[in-house]
Structure 1
Amino acid sequence: MDNNAPTGRSPDHPNKATPDEPGSRRAAYYLGISWLDLAVSLSIMVIVGAVVIWVAIRVIQPAPPSTLTISAGPEYSRFWFAAQKYKEILARNGVTLRVLTSSGTLENLERLADPAIHVDLGFVQSGLASIPSVVSPDTRRGGLMSLGSVSNWPLFVFYRGPELTRLSEFKGKRLAIGREGSGTRQIVLLLLRANGVEPDSNAQMLPLVGEDAVNALLAGKVDAVFLTADSARPELTAKMIRTPDIRLLNFTQAKAYVRSFPFLSQFDVPMGAFDLADNLPPKATATIETTVELIARDTLHPALSDLIIEAAGEVHGGASLLQTAGEFPAPVAHDFPLSPEAARYYKSGKSFLYRTMPFWLASLVDRLLVLVVPIVVVLIPALRFVPPLYAWRVKSRFYLRYGELIVLERSVLDDPSEQSYVEFTKKLNAIEKGLNKLQMPIAYADHFYALREHISYVRSQIAALRRGNDSRQ
C-alpha cells in the first residue's frame, strides 16, 4: 500500500473528514455551458453594437421631407411657370412643392437667408451677392449653396436715337431699368455706375419692366429700356426692332465687362435672331449676360438635391434662342458654393439605387445601408471576441482563488506561529469549499482539478513546515 496516497483525512485531525472528502459537501456543479458568462459576453457585444448603431443613426440623414417650398418670382413670370413645372415633376415622386411668388431675386435671397421663413429653394440671379450695398453679409453667410445654373440671363438694351456703343453715353437720359427688388435692376445699376451714370444725378431711372417699358419707349416717354430674358418676349423685341430709330445696343466693350465682373459672360445675338425673313437684327450683336442659379439652404436633403437637379434638366434643358439643348442645368456657381451633392450629380449622375428604384424605395434602402454597413464591418468581426471573453470570464474565477491561495501561503511563511497555522487552515478550507461549490462548464474541469491539486500541495507544504517547527521546539 502506498503510504503517500491521500487518505482524505486532515493532517491535524486524522479522524475528521477534509472538505474534499466525498459526502462532506456538494460536488462541483458542471455545466455544458455557462449561460451567465455567455450572456455577459454577448451583452458587451450588444452594447458595442448599440453604440455603433446609435452613432450611425446620429450621422444618417433622416428620411427626405415630403414637402418643399420654392420662392420663384412674380406671378406668370418665366420662373413662376418653371416652378409650376417643377411642382408637377416632383409630384411624380411623391414630393409636394409649394410655390411662393416674390418680387424677384432679392426677396428670394432674403427668404432663403432667414431661418424664420420656411423656404428651401429659390431662383437667384448671379452677381447680386457680390454687391455689398444690395446683399447683407448675413445673407452671404446664411448657409446657402448652389445647385447649379439653370438658365442664362442676357441683357438687351433697346434705345432710341443715333447709334451708341457704350453705357456711359446714357448720361442725362430716361432709363427703364426694371422693378424694385428685381435682380436685373441691381445689376443694371451696378453697370451704369461703373460708367459714371448715377440715378437722380445725371440720369432718370424708372421702375418699368416688360410691356410697360416697351410701350414707354415706343411712346417716347423713355430713351432706353433694359430687358432680360424674362421681359424680352419675342413679340416685344420684334415690335421694337421693326420700329425706325430704335436700336439694339451692341456692347463693344463686352470683353471688358466680363473681365471686370466675373459673374458676367458675353452673349452674342445672332443675325436674324428676332426675324429671319427680315434679317433682324441685320448683324450679330454682342451683349452681356448673367446666369440664374437654383439656390438652396445647406439643410436640403441630399436625395432631394438629385431629384431637383433632374427636374431642372427636364424644365430648362431644351433648346431655345438663348441656349443650346442640354446646356442647362450646369455646374456653374458664382455667389454661393456648389453643393457637394450637386457636384457629384453633375459628375456621375444619379446613384445606382436612384437609377434602378422608385425614389421612395431608393431613399429607404439608402438609409438602411448606413445601418447595415456598420453591422457588417464592425459587429460581425467583433463577434470573434466573444469566445475569448467568455473563456476569460470562466477562468477568472480560478485566477481569483489562485491569488487568494498565494496570499494565504505567504502569510504563514512570513509568520509561522500556531495562530497563523489555525488561521491558514480555516481560510484554506473556505477556499476549497468555495471551489467545490463553483459552477463551471465541463470544458474547464482541468482548471478545477489543477486548482484542487495545488490546494492540496500548499496544504501539505504548510503541514510539513509545521511539523518541522514542532520537532525543533
Structure 2
Amino acid sequence: MRPTVTRHVFVKRVKATLIDAFRQGRRLMRDAGHPILLLMIALSTLLWFAKPAPPKIVEMAAGRPTDYSFELAQRYVQFFARNGVELRLVPTQGALDNFERLKNTRDAVKVAMIQGGFADNPEDVTGLLSLGSIAYEPVWLFYWGDQADDVQRPLTELLKGPVSIGNIGSGTHAKALQLLKITGMTPRADSMYELPEDQAVEALKRREINAMLVVEHYESPLIQDLLKIDGLVVADFIRARAYAKLLGYIEVLHVPMGGFDLVRNFPKHDIQLLSTTTTLVIEDDLHPAIQMLFMEASAAIVGHERFFGDAKEFPSIKDPTIPLSAVAHQYFEKGAPTLSYYLPFWVAEFLERIGLLLVPFVAFAYPVMRSIPGFLINRARKRIERVYLELRRIEHEVSADFSPAMLDQKITALDRMAAEVLRIKIHKKLVAEFYALRSDIEFVRAVLIRLRQAEACSEEKTGLKP
C-alpha cells in the first residue's frame, strides 16, 4: 500500500517546486534578459493602448428624485452593481441641468439622461457622445374640455389660455419655448406660467389654469395620475408630422381610440402626440468598457417598452443632434461582445478590444520567442569562448614565466576555472563543446602539474650536489 503523503511533506514539495520555478525564472531573466525585456515593453505598449482598467465608480446626472427618469436610472444602478461597478446618481434640477453639468468638464458627472433637442448647434455638444435613445418622452398638453369637440383645435389656440409651460431649467420649459417659437408665438407672462410640475398639477386640478404642458414618460406616476382625471383631455397634435419635419429630434406617436382607458373610451378618437426621446449622453473620454456596459444595461432595462415602443425598439438611434459613440455604433452593428455571455463584462470587453492589437503583438513576439533558444546558445558559446581565451592567456603567461610560484598560481586558477565551468547551464546542442572545454582545461592542468613535478625534481637534484 502506498504511504499517505502528510500535509507537511506536501507543503515542502510545493515550496521546493516554487523555489525551483523562481530560480529558473531568475536564471532565464539573467540569461535571456534582452529578448524578454523587448517582449515586456511590447506587452506594456499593448496594455497601454487597450486601456485595461475601467473605473469602478461612475457618476450619472439623473434629474429630480421625483422624476420617472430618476427611477429609471436606479435600474441602471442595480445592473451596474451586479457587474461590479458603482453607478452613483447625482440629483439635479432637471434635464437642462443634466446637460449643463455634463458639459462642464470640471464636473465629476460622466453620464446624463438628456431629452432630445437641447443641442441647438454643434458647439453645444463638443466633447459629448450619444449612447442612443432609451425611451420615448412625449410632449403632453392636458387641458379641460371635451376631446370630441376639439378635434381640429391647433396648438396655438390651446396655448392661449392660462397654461403652465414648466419651470425655467426644466426640459418641459425648453420644449415649450421651442414649440412656441416654431409656431410664431411668444411667451406671455399674463397667461403662460412657469410652474414646477407638482405646482402645475395642483393648479390644474383646482382649475386655476386651463392647461398644462409637460414632457414626461408615459410610465411616470404624474402622467398616470393625470390620465385618470375625468374631464381632462390630452391634446391631439393634428400637425404632428409637420413638427417632426421641422424638428429633427421629434417623433410622432399614435394613440388609438380608447388607448388610455377602454372603460371611459379615452381618448374618444385616435390622436397623435409629439415626442422627444431620452438619450444617454456621455463625455467622450468615458472608458469603452463602461460605454458597452451602458449599452447592455439599456437593452436589458428599456428593451421591452410596452405602450409606445415596439419590442426591442430601444436602445436605438433617434436623436441626430448628438454624435454617436463608436462603441454604441459597434453595438448597434454587431451587438454585445460574444465573450460577454461567458465572462465578466470588463474581461470580455478588454479581450474583445485587444483582439486586433494582439495581431501585431504576436507578429512581433513570435520571432522574438523563437530567437530566445538561439540567443541562449550564442550566449553560452561566448562564455565557452571566454574560458578558452582565459586558458590561452594562462598558457602565454606560463611560457613567459616558468617559475614554480607561477606554476602553482596557474594550477590553482585552472582548478577554479574547472569548478566555474561545471556551473554553466549548457544547451544540449553545446554538450560536445562543453566536454571538449573540460578536457582541454584538464589537459592544460595536467601539463602544468607535470612541469611543476619536473621543476621539483630538478630542485632536489640541485640541492644534493656537493
Q: Which TM-score applies when normalising by structure 1?
A: 0.66
Please list, as runs of the form range in 1=range in 2, the aligned pairs for 1:106-255 lying within 5 A after superposition. 106-130=96-120, 137=123, 139-141=124-126, 143-160=127-144, 163=150, 165-170=153-158, 172-200=160-188, 204-230=191-217, 232-239=222-229, 242-243=230-231, 246-255=232-241
Listed one character per residue, the Cα deviations across residues 83-142 of structure 1 (whole Å, up to 9, x for unaligned) are 111111211111111111111111111111112111121100011112x6xxx93x421x
Q: Structure 1 residues 360 and 256 mapped into 2: Cα distance closer, same or farther (>3 Å)?
A: closer
In the TM superposition, what is the alpha-carbon distance from 1:41 to its structure 2 partner?
11
Q: Structure 1 residues 92 and 41 mapped into 2: Cα distance closer, same or farther (>3 Å)?
A: closer
Match of 1:85 among 75, 80, 87: 75
Please list, as runs of the form range in 1=range in 2, the aligned pairs for 1:15-414 lying within 5 A after superposition. 45-46=35-36, 48-130=38-120, 137=123, 139-141=124-126, 143-160=127-144, 163=150, 165-170=153-158, 172-200=160-188, 204-230=191-217, 232-239=222-229, 242-243=230-231, 246-359=232-345, 361-362=347-348, 374-383=360-369
Q: Structure 1 residues 306 and 40 mapped into 2: Cα distance closer, same or farther (>3 Å)?
A: closer
Listed one character per residue, the Cα deviations across residues 408-466 of structure 1 (whole Å, up to 9, x for unaligned) are xxxxxxxxxxxxxxxxxxxxxxxxxxxxxxxxx999xxxxxxxxxxxxxxxxxxxxxxx
Listed one character per residue, the Cα deviations across residues 1-46 of structure 1 (whole Å, up to 9, x for unaligned) are xxxxxxxxxxxxxxxxxxxxxxxxxxxxxxxxxxxxx999966544
Listed one character per residue, the Cα deviations across residues 383-412 of structure 1 (whole Å, up to 9, x for unaligned) are 556799999999xxxxxxxxxxxxxxxxxx
**SS of structure 2 residue aligned to 1:129:** coil
CA RMSD of aligned residues (A): 4.0
**Whole-angstrom distance in 2 between the partners of 1:214 and 1:53:** 61
**Whole-angstrom distance in 1 between the partners of 2:162 and 2:206:** 13
Higher relative contact order (CA closer than 8 Å, sequence separation 6+): 1
**SS of structure 2 residue aligned to 1:311:** helix
Counterpart code for 1:182: S
Instruction: Report the counterpart of residue 27 of structure 1 in structure 2.
Output: none
**Whole-angstrom distance in 2 between the partners of 1:76 and 1:323:** 23
Counterpart code for 2:132: G
**Whole-angstrom distance in 2 between the partners of 1:39 and 1:361:** 29
In the TM superposition, what is the alpha-carbon distance from 1:179 to its structure 2 partner?
2.1
In the TM superposition, what is the alpha-carbon distance from 1:318 to its structure 2 partner?
2.8
**SS of structure 1 residue aligned to 2:228:** helix
**SS of structure 2 residue aligned to 1:323:** coil
Counterpart code for 1:179: N
CA contact (8 A) 2:50 2:354 kept: no
Q: Structure 1 residues 259 and 367 mapped into 2: Cα distance closer, same or farther (>3 Å)?
A: closer
In the TM superposition, what is the alpha-carbon distance from 1:281 to its structure 2 partner?
0.6
**Whole-angstrom distance in 2 between the partners of 1:200 and 1:227:** 17
**Whole-angstrom distance in 2 between the partners of 1:111 and 1:211:** 24
Counterpart code for 2:108: H
In the TM superposition, what is the alpha-carbon distance from 1:330 to its structure 2 partner?
1.6
CA contact (8 A) 2:244 2:250 kept: yes
Instruction: Report the counterpart of residue 414 of structure 2 in structure 1.
Output: none
In the TM superposition, what is the alpha-carbon distance from 1:378 to its structure 2 partner?
1.1
**Most deviating of 117-126 and 324-333:** 324-333
Counterpart code for 1:221: E
**Most deviating of 296-305 and 87-96:** 296-305
**Whole-angstrom distance in 1 between the partners of 2:133 and 2:45:** 36
Counterpart code for 1:174: P
Counterpart code for 1:305: Q
Counterpart code for 1:212: Q
Please list, as runs of the form range in 1=range in 2, the aligned pairs for 1:413-452 lying within 5 A after superposition. none
**SS of structure 1 residue aligned to 2:63:** coil
Counterpart code for 2:136: N
Q: Structure 1 residues 41 and 152 mapped into 2: Cα distance closer, same or farther (>3 Å)?
A: same
In the TM superposition, what is the alpha-carbon distance from 1:354 to its structure 2 partner?
1.4
**Most deviating of 118-127 and 227-236:** 227-236
- Larger Rg computed on CA atoms: 1
In the TM superposition, what is the alpha-carbon distance from 1:74 to its structure 2 partner?
0.5
Q: Structure 1 residues 76 and 205 mapped into 2: Cα distance closer, same or farther (>3 Å)?
A: same
In the TM superposition, what is the alpha-carbon distance from 1:150 to its structure 2 partner?
0.6
Q: Which TM-score applies when normalising by structure 2?
A: 0.67
Matched pairs, number: 365
Among the aligned pairs, what percent are the same residue?
31
Q: Structure 1 residues 362 and 85 mapped into 2: Cα distance closer, same or farther (>3 Å)?
A: same
**Whole-angstrom distance in 2 between the partners of 1:320 and 1:127:** 24
Instruction: Report the counterpart of residue 411 of structure 1 in structure 2.
Output: none
Please list, as runs of the form range in 1=range in 2, the aligned pairs for 1:1-16 lying within 5 A after superposition. none
Structure 1's unaligned 5+ residue stretches are 1-37, 395-440, 444-473
Instruction: Report the counterpart of residue 416 of structure 1 in structure 2.
Output: none
**Whole-angstrom distance in 1 between the partners of 2:373 and 2:297:** 54
Counterpart code for 2:245: R
CA contact (8 A) 1:57 1:371 kept: no
**SS of structure 2 residue aligned to 1:376:** helix
In the TM superposition, what is the alpha-carbon distance from 1:148 to its structure 2 partner?
0.8
CA contact (8 A) 1:234 1:274 kept: no
